Amino acid sequence: MVIARNNVRILGRGRQSVVFAHGYGCDQEVWQLMTPAFLADYRVVLFDHVGSGGSDLSAYHPERYSSLHAYAEDVLEVCEASCGDAPVFIGHSVGAIIGALAAARQPGYFSRLVMLTPSPCYLNDGDYPGGFSRQDIEDLLGLLDRNRLSWARLMAETIMGNPDRPALAEALAERFCRTDPLVARQFARVTFLSDHRAVLPAVSTETLVLQCAHDAIAPDAVGAYVQAHLPRGHLVRLKASGHCPHLSDPVETAAAILSWLADSHFSRARA
Over range 195-201, report the average pLDDT.
Answer: 98
Residues taking part in catalysis: 93, 215, 243
Q: Which long-range contacts (CB under 8 A, 24 or more apart) does 137-140 make?
A: 137/192, 137/193, 140/188, 140/192
Question: How many whole angstroms separate alpha carbon 34 and alpha carbon 11?
Answer: 13
Question: How many whole angstroms separate alpha carbon 74 and alpha carbon 165?
Answer: 35
Which residues, at least 6 apart from 76, have a Cβ–Cβ distance to it below 8 Å?
102, 105, 106, 109
> Residue 11: is its pLDDT beyond 60?
yes
- pLDDT confidence bin for 263, thresholds 50/70/90: confident
Q: Give the pLDDT confidence of 138-148 residue by residue, as tens digits.
A: 999 999 999 98
Helix, strand, coil tally for the chain in percent (to 5): 50, 15, 35
> Residue 76: is its pLDDT beyond 90?
yes
Q: Give the pLDDT confidence of 120-129 residue by residue, as tens digits.
A: 999 999 999 9
- pLDDT confidence bin for 97, thresholds 50/70/90: very high
Q: What angle do CA 152, 117, 249 make, to 5 degrees?
A: 80
The pLDDT of residue 61 is: 96
Which residues, at least 6 apart from 221, have a Cβ–Cβ distance to it below 8 Å?
129
The pLDDT of residue 112 is: 97
The pLDDT of residue 176 is: 87
> Residue 271: is its pLDDT beyond 60?
no
Over range 11-24, report the average pLDDT.
Answer: 94
- pLDDT confidence bin for 264, thresholds 50/70/90: very low
> Residue 267: is its pLDDT beyond 50?
no
H-type alpha helices, 83-180: 94-105, 134-146, 148-160, 166-178
- pLDDT confidence bin for 206, thresholds 50/70/90: very high
- Output 133 or 177, whichever has higher pLDDT: 133
- Output 176 or 50, whichever has higher pLDDT: 50
Over range 200-221, report the average pLDDT.
Answer: 97
- pLDDT confidence bin for 84, thresholds 50/70/90: confident
Share of the chain above pLDDT 90, in %: 87
Question: How many whole angstroms separate alpha carbon 271 and alpha carbon 261?
Answer: 13
Q: Give the pLDDT confidence of 147-160 residue by residue, as tens digits.
A: 988 988 998 999 99
